[in-house]
Structure 1
Amino acid sequence: MRFLALLVTAFTTLALTSPAASRAEPVAEPEPAGEPVTRETDGRRPSGPCALHGIDDSVSEAADTPPGFAPSNGTVRALTVFVDFPDAPAEGTPQERYAEFFPAVADYYRASSYGRLDYRSTPVSRWIRMSRPYAAYGIERGTPFERGYRALSKEIVTAVDDTVDFRRFDLVNVLVTPNAGPPATEDVRSVTFAGAPTGLTTGDGVPFKNVSFIWSRQTGNSPFRVLNHENAHTFGLPDLYYTRGGSGLLKTPVGHWDLMDEDWGPSDDFLAWHKWKLGWLAPEQVECVPAPGRRTVTLTPASVPGGTKLTVVPLSRTRAVTVEARERGPLDHTVCRPGVLVTTLATDVPSGAGPVHVSDATPGSDGCWTTDPNVNPQLSDAPYAVGERFSSGGVRVTVTGRDADGNWQVTVERRRPPSSRLSRPASGAAPG
């Protein structure tokens, strides 16, 4: 299956009346709250010399997401179902489990996308009892779909097929009773199967795909973000943390600057590159620097709607330096050193292998957010402040000032044409 991707959530450091028969009925889809979704981007994906190509058959940092994934802007419709087991019956109502995630998940996407993603979830408000005990399905971290997940999915589809029109939905959320399996403090098992059909077909003739399974409970002040992380896989985003070790590097090379790396503990927002890839930034909000020269840019922090959000300096067809401004805001709770965040990204590096690295402006420091075990402290003070400079691969980024409105002035200098290789920066500008 060409586009099938198995994606496991990021780790955590902490860790619902009687089930009805498996036949379930969907409830009416709720209307979204808040301001209406804007259409400034018209659903346009990134284009131009800074819209880098790369991996084209799975999740990746490539600007162009391949076919088969869920849409990531405009109205996106999710079907949400609830599952328990004979030996792990739900200890509460499906409504209580649902409230752990909604409306928070939809509100998060609305805020992060600046109103460009209208996420609507339709719950099937009954527990779907699986036919066998939990252990019989063999679910472990990283279990492939063809093992236990196929059996689970087949039972879910059978349970709701008569009452759910799968043609109406872009993705599926499976919220498992939290008492099935270990707590998230011991083992993270939430997973998404995105891109390609799983091999199951519903009675409506559509493939069962872009499905996220949520196990246990996360911790922190926004534990719902595990579902934002998993759903972002269905939109085409990769895992940013190392899934097989970091070859001596930080296991979290982006830290708390994107929930595709750390989605546990305090809230954090998406990187600006991800917002561009997902269609949340209008063309005029992205500054592309494809040629040698000097450019002065005013960056508006991610937490503030409007303004320029991203500067991209392509180094090759698959490498780039990105520049954005971050400060504490409604989604960014841990920004203790506001400033200009610089990253290096590779669109040909797969999910879980470190496709993005944050450059640390203060290498060797202990960080400024040091009391929360959910946050990578070394990168908490990574942004560059006024007067500081990043330099690597012929690219120099200098933070020259900050105005009264909180916008950051940045000078970007490109001293040579794009290279096919991204050199390792010297100390003080090393990614991750």
Structure 2
Amino acid sequence: MKSLAIAVMVFTALTLTSPAPSRAGAGDAGSGGAAAEGETDGRPPSGPCALPGVTRQVSEAARTPPGFARSHGTVRAVTLFVDFPDVPAEGTPQERYAEFFPAVADFYRASSYGRLDYRSTPLPRWIRMARPYASYGIERGASFDAGGGNGYHALSREILAAADGEVDFRDYDLVNVLVTPNAGPPATEDVRSVTFAGAPTGLTTGDGVPFQNVSFIWSRQTGNSPYRVLNHENGHAFGLPDLYYTSGLTGRTRTPVGHWDPMDEDWGPSNDFLAWHKWKLGWLAPDQVHCLTGPGTRTLTLTPTSVAGGAKLAVVPLSRTRAVTLEARAPGPLDHTVCRPGVLVSTVATDVASGDGPVRTSDATPGSAGCYTTDPNVNARLSDAPYVAGQRCLAPGVSVKVLGQDADGRWRVSVTVRPRILGAGSPAAVSRRSSAGGPG
């Protein structure tokens, strides 16, 4: 849910609004064609659509800063198990492990189209902490501060002392700590799972490597795919931010992306990553991404993220740090809740912090109660957010019209970029033009 920042930069908060649905008519012209699936070696995105970041912590920047775990190719995790003298584990490590594996590895393999081979190795015994659970002062937002002698620093010191003789941490990219689920409140009352990623925690293993990119999983999530809390936490280790609001809601939608990405809603039924995240994580080849920087109208074809192959993402930069993204979503192995297939339109901002809504999904049906209303873990109002044939979406300097589907289930869209958007300068200028945008 949170990650350890390398550095903190103070930035003026700007309102990020999602593009607004529109019924305005306009002619279609031009053709961009569809990109074919190509190969990718996991290199980070490049080019004018690869928005830069403004901090070295988790963000929507196309390039993830050093220190985070790689997210392409073979990635190895070591999984450890912890209980307490006053809260002994009620099951075996193997039972706790089976709550997450092989499901987590299978999810990442499917979402990455086979480009992330996630391998977990368990140390199949409970590591008993030295003190009672409450004495560590673990609560939501607890830090890794070494000064107090409590919190995650104290837990981790004991974990390393117990595991260092059996685990060569040089062999692993990620560390997963599965705490006995009877320690602490249930997840329905207080979600405490957390990741410390991107920077050394101040601890070094006996093998001489920093103890970092470590996820602690508490309690049990609800819903029919509770393992997804680890998908979310490992997403932080790969450099992805929280999409939901973590504080200061002030009447805004708590989940501005809804169930369209597990970095927003990781409870309940399964959901796949946004195409922007797939590009950031190295899972899309360059020719699977349309980068629209010049003025004019282009007709594009997008293949749903739930199937392999084809173009997956269109990006229209609004400024140095903001862009409108388009992707097609349809029911699939990881997208269980898609009840209105279509084109999902979002605004991405690399200058908005994790937990402050760095991505905003436009709702094609504002005021609707949604089409997936049977699970309280799903933001029902955004479940029918995709745009379908005949609908238009407006953003500052950009107009999107959905033309329809072809026989293979691909979605055709017409995107018009107006000249006034070119060279859009500061984020503040974009924010002013966005202030009359859609629901936020």
Deviation for aligned residue 1:219: 1.2
Cα distance in 2 for residues equivalent to 1:430 and 1:202: 49
| Post-superposition CA distance 1:76-96 (Å, at most 9, x none) | 000100000011100010000
Shift of 1:418: 4.2
Question: Counterpart in 2 of 1:222?
Answer: 225
Aligned-pair CA distance for 1:253: 0.3
Seq. identity, %: 75
> Which residue of 2 is the match for residue 105 of structure 1?
104
Match among 208, 211, 224 for residue 208 of structure 1: 211
SS at match of 2:178: strand
TM-score (norm 2): 0.88
Residue ranges of structure 2 left out of the alignment (5+ in a row): 9-36
Q: Is contact 2:400–2:416 with CA below 8 Å preserved after alignment? A: yes
Matched with 1:15 is: none
Q: Deviations over 1:296-342 (max 9, x none)?
A: 11000010100000000001000000000001110011111110000
Take 2:128 and 2:109, find their aligned partners in 1: how far apart are those partners? 33
Structure-2 residue corresponding to 1:430: 438
Query: How much has 1:246 moved relative to structure 2?
Result: 2.7
Instruction: Give the corresponding residue for 1:174.
Output: 177
Query: Aligned pair in 2 of structure 1 residues 122, 4: CA closer, same or farther (>3 Å)?
Result: farther
Q: Which has the higher contact order (CA 8 A, sep 6+)?
A: 2
Q: What TM-score do you get using the length of structure 1 for normalisation?
A: 0.90
Alpha-carbon shift at residue 221 of structure 1 (Å): 1.4
1:324: which partner in 2?
327
Matched AA of 1:424: S
Flag the 1:214–1:2 CA change in 2: closer, same or farther, 3 A: closer
The 8 Å contact of residues 241 and 353 in structure 1, kept in 2 or not, is answered as: yes
User: What residue in structure 2 maps to residue 17 of structure 1?
Assistant: none
Measure, in 1, the Cα distance between the counterparts of 2:130 and 2:287.
53
Q: Aligned Cα RMSD in Å?
A: 1.5
Preserved contact between residue 38 and residue 286 of structure 2 (Cα < 8 Å): no
Counterpart for residue 265 of structure 2: 262
The whole-number CA distance in structure 2 between the counterparts of 1:239 and 1:49 is 25
Contact 1:343 1:431 in 2 (8 A): no
User: How far apart are residue 248 of structure 1 and its match?
Assistant: 2.1
Q: SS at the partner of 2:407?
A: coil
- Supply the distance in 1 between the matched residues of 2:381 and 2:174 (Cα, whole angstroms): 36
| Count of residues in Structure 1 that have an aligned counterpart in Structure 2 | 398
Task: Map Cα deviations across residues 66-116 of structure 1 (whole Å, 9 max, x no partner).
Answer: 000000010000010000001110001000000000000000000000000
Contact 1:425–1:431 (Cα < 8 Å) also in 2: no
Aligned AA (2:52): H
Secondary structure of the corresponding residue to residue 249 of structure 2: coil
Distance in 2 (CA, whole Å) between partners of 1:55 and 1:199 is 24
Alpha-carbon shift at residue 370 of structure 1 (Å): 1.4
What CA distance in whole angstroms lies between the structure 2 residues aligned with 1:106 and 1:270? 15
1:365 is aligned to 2:375: no
**CA distances 1:185-208 after superposition (whole Å, capped 9, x unpaired):** 000000000000000011111010
For residues 241-295 of structure 1, the C-alpha deviation after alignment (integer angstroms, 9 at most, x for no partner) is 0001333220100000000000000111100000000000000000000111111
Partner in structure 1 of residue 242 of structure 2: 239
Give the gaps of 5 or more residues in structure 1: 6-37
Does the residue aligned with 2:94 lie in a helix, a strand or coil? helix
Who is 1:342 aligned against?
345
CA shift digits 1:101-147 (9 cap, x unpaired): 00000000000000000000010000000000100000000101114
1:12-31 equivalent positions in 2, closer than 5 A: none
Q: Of residues 397, 406, 410 in structure 1, which corresponds to 2:409?
A: 406
The 1:39/1:297 distance shift into structure 2, 3 A limit, reads: closer
Matched residue of 2:230: which SS?
helix
Kept in 1, the 8 Å contact 2:53–2:351? The answer is yes
Query: For 1:195, what is the secondary structure of its paired residue?
Result: coil
